[in-house]
Amino acid sequence: MHEAVEEEFRIMEEASKQGVVLSEDALSSSLELLCQHPPALVSRGTRIRDAARILLASREDAVLVLDQGELVGVATARDLLGYCVSGASMDDAVENAMTPKPMTLRMDDTLLTLLAQFYSAEYTVVPIVDEEGYPRHLLGMRDVLEGILLDFDRVIRTTPPIPYRGEPELWGG
């Protein structure tokens, strides 16, 4: 019995040293798994002040700007802040600060496609649209990270804390 327990500990220790690797299957999975909630939407003409309030009240990284039901732009928190810091009025329309004609993906696109857009096009958020082009979700790096971390929940929860700046290690197993 004692040998079986020791063997189990050896297996656990070896597995913990291997690290976490994203599989090709995970990267080729559809975005549908990450699309959990609707995006924050505003219409053209919305004041920057109101768009910023919507961002603060939501968990979103940006608002999607619609004009008669059509997606015409994305305004991230950084866009809004940069516009206001430049001396412009918070009462100006959101289209003055938005990125017009954003690149979009659909729910059947893959995680790898989304990551490629984040990396190569330097996007921080990507609207996910339906077949008619209407925005149904908004995905950012935080959404991707949360989706990936859910797959590794046990690994994360059992990883010992790193001692702060050389303090003695307190983790005992």
pLDDT of residue 99: 93
Fold category of 21-158 in CATH: CBS-domain (3.10.580)
Phi, psi of 44 (to 5 degrees): -55, 135
pLDDT in tens, 77-88: 999 999 989 989
Indicate left, alpha or beta for 71 from its phi (over 0: left) and psi (-120 to 50: alpha). beta
pTM of the model: 0.74
Short-list 11, 14, 16, 173, CA closest to 3: 11
pLDDT of residue 173: 52
pLDDT of residue 52: 93
Cα–Cα–Cα angle for 3, 7, 12, rounded to 5 degrees:
150
**Spatial distance between the Cα atoms of 126 and 137, rounded to a whole number of angstroms:** 9
pLDDT of residue 33: 84
Binned average pLDDT, 10 residues per bin, the chain of 173 residues? 70 57 73 89 96 90 94 94 90 94 94 89 91 94 82 68 62 55
pLDDT of residue 30: 86
CA dihedral for 93, 96, 97, 103, sign (positive or negative): positive
Question: Domain locations in the chain?
Answer: 21-158
pLDDT of residue 59: 80
pLDDT of residue 109: 94
